[in-house]
Structure 1
Amino acid sequence: MPVELITVPCLSDNYAFLIHDPQTGQTALVDVPEAAPVQAVLDQRGWSLTDILITHHHDDHVQGLQALRGDARVVGAKADAHRLPRLDTEVADGDTITVCGQQVHIFDVSGHTIGHIAFHMPETQLLFTADSLMAMGCGRLFEGTPSQMWNSLQKLRALPGDTTVCSGHEYTMTNVRFALSLEPNNPKIMSRSEATRTARENGHATVPSLLSLECETNPFLRADDPVLAQAIDMADAQPAEIFTEIRARRDRF
């Protein structure tokens, strides 16, 4: 991999991500839940931030920014600029920027919030999704509609299966239990449940995850899967209706 990726646990269950280009020395940060854990890694590695990429406006993704921004370029959604910290570069769906020597493609993934974006680095097959696509789940719909989120997830699902999904929270165990409530006998979900339990018992993060694994086991990417539709007695429903139903069930879970 041309860049180094470090997952940084923050707050109680958030993740930030550091990307480092060893050739240029450039270092980027995706989201800033809090400053201290990120600064500790920077100090340990002797790195300085050149870029900070922000996915959306929620405090648990931006509240550490001021303490870390220094001379770094701050990148965020133009549509969200009015409620984000000051941006140096405003981006929108379909834009491409360069970070750590890599092309970064911008996806609008509205649903959790309006104006939420994801960052895709195709050369290194890294995808930073924050609270849109999550490990075994997707973000609660605070601002958008189920239809918006389903459309957003389909964009991400279309990327290559060997893409590494860097999402924003350690919610995987709860998400697995929810997936099993929908399909208690699904062998792939059962296997992921065991792997997730083992990882957490050993103090390991379950994020990042492979997109191919998400496509196989994440119910929110499978709203058009007849097997899931049959399991929840919605065989005749449209995918958007199925997504709406499982998101509502997850909210009550």
Structure 2
Amino acid sequence: MHVVPLPALADNYIWLLHDDSGNAIVVDPGESEPVEAALHARKLTLRAVLLTHHHPDHIGGAERLKEAFNIPVYAPEDDRIAVATHRVKDGDSLALSQPAARFDVMAVPGHTLTHIVYVGEGVLLCGDTLFSLGCGRMFEGTPTQMHASLQRLAALPGETLVCCGHEYTAANARFAQTVEPHNAALNARAQEVDTLRAAHRPSVPATLASELACNPFLRVNSDEVIDWCRRHGAANDPVARFAALRSAKDAFKA
């Protein structure tokens, strides 16, 4: 399976997955034009759309793609996603025939209450829950929910490719380095990201193993993160540390 990030809108990524026989799926098409252009350029046929949550920058192009290609649209159980033809929930498995692919569905409340991710074929299609070197804002969920969701994702195999919904990595790196300035893996990743972005290349996907080594929101039990949280009055438990990190990131000016 080939995994291609398609830039869209201001800083979104639409994820295009396709096989060698010309069959493709897309995840979170915030607009249809980049998808249609990529399909034409690669001589692919779109077979399905997968959606992670209801925000317009993730579903805005789904209606046109559904109508143009007469394809199913998989989405969480959320009435705000009217374009859905199939609803999926935590614990479901989604088996596609073209391209031949299987994804497990996981509920990850936090960014929104009905956010889901798709895991399979070596990738984690995680929308706005986990970003490289960061995580999503909590628009609807609580720190307890978001921390638990991230911990579920952290338990996936380290070689899993994290395919997130935005190009936020450089800004996330600058915040992460204020939390763990002595983290060698983080500093190397930040340099790598600067090089990629300077060449106008995507910073993602990244492996989950890299995120576990670098992303402070997955590292709330590491010594340097605990020290940072202690200085910010929140060293008592992992959820409190996560909440302190998220609050600080919300106010951070890169």
Q: Normalising by structure 1, what TM-score?
A: 0.94
In the alignment, what sits opposite 2:100?
Answer: 101
In the alignment, what sits opposite 1:32?
Answer: 29
Q: Give the conservation status (yes or no) of the 8 Å contact 1:226–1:235.
A: no
User: How far did 1:182 drift?
Assistant: 1.1
Q: 1:87 aligns with which of 84, 88, 98?
A: 84
User: How far did 1:225 drift?
Assistant: 2.0
Q: Give the conservation status (yes or no) of the 8 Å contact 1:34–1:65.
A: yes
Runs of 4+ off more than 6 Å: none
Whole-Å separation in 1 of the counterparts to 2:117 and 2:250: 23
Residue 84 to residue 235, structure 1, CA distance change in 2 (3 Å): closer
User: How far did 1:235 drift?
Assistant: 8.2
In the alignment, what sits opposite 2:113?
Answer: 114
Whole-Å separation in 2 of the counterparts to 1:171 and 1:40: 24
In the alignment, what sits opposite 1:207?
Answer: 204
Whole-Å separation in 1 of the counterparts to 2:82 and 2:13: 19
Structure 2 stretches lacking a partner, 5+ long: none
User: How far did 1:103 drift?
Assistant: 1.5
Q: Normalising by structure 2, what TM-score?
A: 0.93
In the alignment, what sits opposite 2:46?
Answer: 49
User: How far did 1:22 drift?
Assistant: 2.5
Q: Give the conservation status (yes or no) of the 8 Å contact 2:5–2:16.
A: yes
In the alignment, what sits opposite 1:141?
Answer: 138
Deviations along 1:115-137, one digit per CA (max 9) or x if unpaired, are: 0000001xx21110010011110
User: How far did 1:90 drift?
Assistant: 0.6
2:151 is equivalent to residue 154 of structure 1? yes
Deviations along 1:149-208, one digit per CA (max 9) or x if unpaired, are: 000001100000000010000000110000011122222211111111111111111011
Whole-Å separation in 2 of the counterparts to 1:5 and 1:186: 29
Question: What is the identity, as a one-letter code, of the residue corresponding to 1:247?
Answer: R
Aligned positions of 1:1-253 closer than 5 A: 3-23=1-21, 25-70=22-67, 71-78=70-77, 80=78, 82-99=79-96, 100-121=99-120, 124-233=121-230, 236-253=235-252
Question: What is the identity, as a one-letter code, of the residue corresponding to 2:139?
Answer: F
User: How far did 1:237 drift?
Assistant: 1.4
Question: What is the identity, as a one-letter code, of the residue corresponding to 2:197?
Answer: R
Whole-Å separation in 2 of the counterparts to 1:21 and 1:200: 27
SS in 1 for 2:163: strand
Question: What is the identity, as a one-letter code, of the residue corresponding to 2:165?
Answer: G
Residue 34 to residue 236, structure 1, CA distance change in 2 (3 Å): closer
Question: What is the identity, as a one-letter code, of the residue corresponding to 2:228?
Answer: A
Question: What is the identity, as a one-letter code, of the residue corresponding to 2:89?
Answer: A
Structure 1 stretches lacking a partner, 5+ long: none
Whole-Å separation in 1 of the counterparts to 2:102 and 2:35: 23
Question: What is the identity, as a one-letter code, of the residue corresponding to 1:174?
Answer: A
Question: What is the identity, as a one-letter code, of the residue corresponding to 1:222?
Answer: R
Aligned length: 246
